[in-house]
Amino acid sequence: QQPVQSPQAVILREGEDAVINCSSSKALYSVHWYRQKHGEAPVFLMILLKGGEQKGHEKISASFNEKKQQSSLYLTASQLSYSGTYFCGTPLSGGTSYGKLTFGQGTILTVHP
Amino acid sequence: DTEVTQTPKHLVMGMTNKKSLKCEQHMGHRAMYWYKQKAKKPPELMFVYSYEKLSINESVPSRFSPECPNSSLLNLHLHALQPEDSALYLCASSQRPGSYEQYFGPGTRLTVT
């Protein structure tokens, strides 16, 4: 079953902040975040492997709440280069050993000057 | 070198043709993946190769036939495809199977006529 992302789309001006959420009706064992620009391949942002974990990558950070079965991606002081579609990916079983990821439907982020 | 390469970039084929997609990585990764991505949709896992052995086949029709000749190379053989198979085919690799970041290639844009 696919994780659910919200919002589906967000429009920002440069310098504004955004939050993208990823939730699952089943237990989450880890959460991967990727960004895909139009016409390009998805690019890895970060993985959160355990509940309570938080990570950062430039001005993009994420948290993982295992109990709530959700993860959030925080984009602060957005830049034009942040535009793209953001996907969360999760292994849907406790057996993470095979690397089988199921992606959420994506959140389209557009940053305007 | 953190690059995954895919050839060809674009492919147009008829429903009776046989063609192959090629993917290569030289990062020493031992897990390789094929994904299918339709427009405005997330990547959808097709196959996972783990240490050169097929470990996951997501109930993909037999007209798609994966092959992993060695640890650096992954092929996808196509035969008797349908127009609905038109999509972007992405190859990815990770250090090992499991919750490791996946590096994606640029994809092959396939059109079946």
Instruction: Give per-residue pLDDT as tens, A49-106.
Output: 877 677 777 789 999 988 888 999 999 999 999 999 999 998 866 554 566 889 999 9
Residues from chain B contacting residue A40 (CB–CB below 8 Å): 106
pLDDT reported for residue A33: 95
> Minimum mean pLDDT among A1-15, A77-91, B25-39, B89-103: which range?
B89-103
3-state secondary structure of B84: helix
> Minimum mean pLDDT among A30-39, B81-90, B96-105: which range?
B96-105
Residues from chain A contacting residue B29 (CB–CB below 8 Å): none
User: Residue B99: which pLDDT band, with cuts at 50, 70 and 90?
Assistant: confident
Interface test with A, best of B99, B108, B109 (most A CBs within 10 A): B99
pLDDT reported for residue A29: 80
Torsion of CA A83, B107, B65, A34, to 10 degrees: -30
pLDDT reported for residue A110: 97
What are A15-25's pLDDT values in tens digits?
999 999 999 88
Q: Which residue is it, tokens 């997330």?
A: B42
pLDDT reported for residue A66: 82
Q: Which segments of chain A are extended strands (E)?
A: 4-6, 9-13, 18-23, 31-36, 42-48, 54-57, 60-65, 70-75, 84-90, 102-103, 107-112
The yes-or-no verdict on residue B71 having pLDDT over 60 is yes
Q: For residue B54, what are the β-bridge partners?
A: B49
pLDDT reported for residue B59: 87
pLDDT reported for residue A53: 72
Measured over the CA atoms of residue A65, residue A66, residue A71 and residue A75, the dihedral's sign is positive
pLDDT reported for residue B108: 97
Length of chain A as a residue count: 113
Beta-carbon contacts of residue A103 (< 8 Å; ≥ 6 apart): A2, A3, A34, A87, A88, A89, B42, B43, B44
Q: Whole-angstrom Cα distance, residue A3 to residue A44?
A: 17
pLDDT reported for residue A93: 60
Q: Whole-angstrom Cα distance, residue A91 to residue A2?
A: 10
Interface test with B, best of A97, A105, A107, A108 (most B CBs within 10 A): A97
Average pLDDT, chain B: 94
Q: Do B48 and A100 touch (CB under 8 A)?
A: yes
- Tell me how far CA of residue B111 lies from CA of B12, B44, B107, in angstroms: 5, 17, 13
What's the DSSP call for residue B105? Answer: P
Q: How many CB atoms lie within 10 A of CB B107?
A: 25
Q: How far is B65 from chain A (nearest CA, A)?
A: 19
pLDDT reported for residue B52: 94
